[in-house]
Amino acid sequence: MTTTGRPARRRSGRTARPDGRAWRFLAPFLLVYVFAMILPILYAVYQSMLTVERSGPTGLGKPSIGFAGLDNYALALDQTAFVESFARVLLFGIVQVPVMLLLALVLALLLDQLPDRWAGLLRSAYFLPYGVPGVIATILWGFLYVPGISPIGEVLGEFGFQPDFLGYDNVLWSIANIVVWEFAGYNMLIIVAQLKSIPQELYEAARIDGAGPWQTALRIKIPLVRPALILTCVFSIIGTMQLFSEPLVLKKIAPAVTQDYTPNLSAYFDAFANANMYLAAAKSVLLAVAAMVLSFGFLSLVNRKQRSER
Amino acid sequence: MPTRRRLLAWGAAAAAAGPGLAACGETAGAARMTRASRRRPGQRAHLVMWTWVPLRKAVALWNRKHPDIQVTVQMVPANTSGGYQKMHSAVQAGNPPDLAQIEYWALPEFMLSGALTDISAYGADTLKDRYVDWQWQQGVFAGATYAMPQASGPMGFFYRKDLYEKWDVEVPRTWDEFRAAARKIKKRSGGSYISAFPPANAQWFSSFPWQAGARWIRTEGDTWIVDLTGEESRRVADFWNGLLRDGLVLPTQDSQSAFFKALQTGRLASWPGAQWQDALIRGNAPGTTGRWRVTELPQWERGAHASSNWGGSATAIMQGTRYPREALEFAHWLNSAPESIDLLVAAGYGWPAAKLELAGSALGRPDPFFGGQRYNDVFQRSDRHVDTSWRFSPTTTQSYARIQDNFGRVLAGHGGLRDALRDAERSFVDDLRAKGLKARAAS
């Protein structure tokens, strides 16, 4: 193998293509990956281009399947409620992701200052909500939101506030609160892991140069956990786009959560309530494309910034 | 070993399949059609039934009496919480149950996906006279019968006798009196309401236009006609809109913890609801034993007895069964034999679809929870006065959800119920068209 023409700064240790042995090790993974990921995706893309053709009186005769081309995509994009659901999760993400990551970062930095014994205990405590499945968490929070049952509402009522957590304008932020509660601890743990990998010499050097805890945090820790922040941010963007179980569970008690509240809910209701698999497939493909554009867009944005800083 | 060549082959196969797969991979509707298989004398038929109604006792009784036709009950999640999804998938995959629990409003959806067996071919129509007519008609499409009616939910007016007396309010007999009573209750009780208004329950709401004589869905030739904004519907919408605006009803979702708490504490003094809610009230407000009574729904015209219905389901014989005759025989027994109905009533399944003498059945007994009232007499009268020409569309799940979405917006202060219905009518028609059906709005 020759290296002529290749960029000189290419990272070493990675050859161009895996050899026979590598394929053998990769086989179990690839087999599952192809059957559980690639084929279903291809099948969904294929389904998204089909439609049911009806016949007979009032259309109740025997139906047949026809090729629809991009009709389902046009139909999906024609539904204002579906398009609005993208705007809704975007708004949700713009507010919720920074709040959650800031909280995770602050918690991680605080834990880093504590003696090990306390840090371990608190770390588990903050991480605990992640162990509660999203559906259960939402049911739990649901009880805290429902007017007439909620103890929070009762206490605030004593002071003259009548918050309607499930109201038309508030329910999105009530969902955001649940998501923050669930995932702040998880993201904190990723950042903590990155903090642990920072060599102690850097801290010593900083101390010798006269940096206090504030300066150490701002000048050393935060820049060095940047990769973890980027990673958690990408995860959060994808998670936000796929927001599903929280609104689905809250829907039962909050009429403001419509069946097109998030793109995922919209596809779900088309597939399983409305028995229109093909339209649902089109919506899912659109959602996947949007999530991909957003996360790769974010990655290329931060990478470009990184490169220009060098 | 999967070489790259094999991976490429997979990819090529998937790509080449293209529209050609439509023939083999995708079927519209049922993958397996009903065909009666011949039984040798003494050979057993095994039937599987999917339901969420607690009818195991009745089925056990059948199995004891009919050793040659054995029925297995498999519990599925109730209706749209997962049961229907599972049924649709099973029909499409070609392994459906022989019988399934399907609500009246969902029957057209299952018809649309070809999931039901035409049981007229197996002699169902001779049994027609044993059932209440409007319920039988829910399973009839283009002159053929597809489902055996099981139970319904005639509407009535549940009220707290003690509270009405305490506040000196007369039990309303017309909707005008209902509004007047709502004002009195609000003024005299200090925090109680005459009724809840559940914004996300279009089935509940639709029972009022139904009572007033509206027809939300009808067909003309091969076209579905949607009419959510007719005179009767507008009148009902404006009526409830006024109550909401004046704060005379409690906007809360029914059958949720807050609703049950309101029933228990007297925050709700009454509730226009379906017969099957007797069990819900009894179970969730045990502290109010003896204080409830039932009377007929308030009327638009004094002295009339117009009624309507909320809920109800059928036993459908699914497309693909090998024993359609046996399944029909069982479905008929389950829903009409007095010994079966008594067991089903005890399990709280609703109002029987079979014509029935109340006096001899479990429904005819005085009930201590309702202060010794024979409250089912009220529901029997109600059942007889249900207007029988109400139909459902094959997009009810989705289209009723749109009504609910719009009502949610009204409660948040955006527009009125009348506008909400007008907007829902438009999307209702779009839903039908998206399914490949011909549809238009009535006005």
CA angle A280, A263, A94 (to 5 degrees): 160
What is the predicted pLDDT for the residue at B103?
95
- Check whether residue B214 and residue B287 sit in a common domain: yes
Inform me whether the pLDDT recorded for B440 exceeds 80: yes
- Check whether residue A47 and residue A141 sit in a common domain: no
If you average pLDDT over every residue of chain B, what do you get? 89
C-alpha distances out from residue A208 to A201, A219, A221, Å:
10, 14, 16
pLDDT higher for B103 or B388?
B103
What is the predicted pLDDT for the residue at A118?
87
What is the predicted pLDDT for the residue at B253?
86
Identify whether the C-beta of residue A256 lies closer than 8 Å to the C-beta of residue A25: no
CA dihedral B98, B100, B105, B107 (to 10 degrees): 0
Q: Quick check: is B22 in a domain?
A: no
pLDDT in tens, A110-147: 998 888 888 889 999 999 999 999 999 999 999 999 88
- Check whether residue A210 and residue A300 sit in a common domain: yes
pLDDT in tens, B35-70: 888 888 878 999 999 999 889 999 999 999 999 999
Identify whether the C-beta of residue A62 lies closer than 8 Å to the C-beta of residue B114: yes
What is the predicted pLDDT for the residue at B389?
84
Least confident range from A183-192, A296-305, B287-296: namely A296-305
The two beta strands, B217-220 and B99-103, are: unpaired
- Structural domain including A118 reads 80-309
What is the predicted pLDDT for the residue at B258?
87
Cα separation, A203 vs A199, whole angstroms: 8
If you average pLDDT over every residue of chain A, what do you get? 87
What is the predicted pLDDT for the residue at A58?
72
What is the predicted pLDDT for the residue at B14?
47
Chain A hits for B394, CB-CB cut-off 8 Å, are: 59-60
Q: Residue B198: what residue type?
A: P
In terms of Cβ atoms closer than 10 Å to its own Cβ (0-12, 13-18, 19+), residue A3 is exposed
Interface predicted TM-score of the whole assembly (ipTM), two decimals = 0.72
Closest in A46, A253, A260 to B256, CB measured: A253
pLDDT in tens, B146-158: 999 999 999 999 9
| Chain-chain contact of A27 with B407 (C-beta, under 8 angstroms) | no
What is the predicted pLDDT for the residue at A276?
84
pLDDT in tens, A228-254: 999 999 999 999 999 999 999 998 888
What backbone torsions phi and psi does residue B226 show, to the nearest 5 degrees? -105, 130
Q: Quick check: is A87 in a domain?
A: yes
Domain count, chain B: 2
Residue B170: give its domain's CATH number. 3.40.190.10
- Check whether residue A40 and residue A184 sit in a common domain: no
Domain count, chain A: 2
Inform me whether the pLDDT recorded for B5 exceeds 60: no
Banded model confidence at residue A1, pLDDT cuts 50, 70, 90: very low
Residues 6+ apart with CB under 8 A from B225: B217, B218, B219, B439, B440, B441, B442
Full-model pTM: 0.80
What is the predicted pLDDT for the residue at B1?
40
Q: Quick check: is B120 in a domain?
A: yes
Mean pLDDT value across residues A88-92: 95
pLDDT in tens, B279-310: 889 999 999 999 999 999 999 999 999 999 99
- Check whether residue B283 and residue B409 sit in a common domain: yes
What is the predicted pLDDT for the residue at B70?
96
CA torsion sign for B228, B233, B235, B238 is: negative
In angstroms, what separates the C-alpha of A143 from chain B's closest C-alpha?
A: 9
In angstroms, what separates the C-alpha of B401 from chain A's closest C-alpha?
A: 7
Q: Choose the mutation target among A25, A32, A58 for the interface with B, i.e. most B CBs under 10 Å.
A: A58
- Check whether residue A55 and residue A118 sit in a common domain: no
- Structural domain including B67 reads 41-152+311-364
Locate the chain B residue with the closest alpha carbon to A166.
B412
- Check whether residue A39 and residue A176 sit in a common domain: no
Mean pLDDT value across residues B309-325: 94
- Check whether residue A87 and residue A60 sit in a common domain: no
pLDDT in tens, A13-64: 555 666 788 888 999 999 999 999 999 999 999 999 998 888 776 777 777 8
- Strand ranges (E), B304-424: 309-317, 351-352
Closest in B29, B219, B405 to A62, CB measured: B29
Inform me whether the pLDDT recorded for B159 exceeds 60: yes
What three-state secondary structure class fits B309?
strand
Tokens matching residue A5: 């023409």
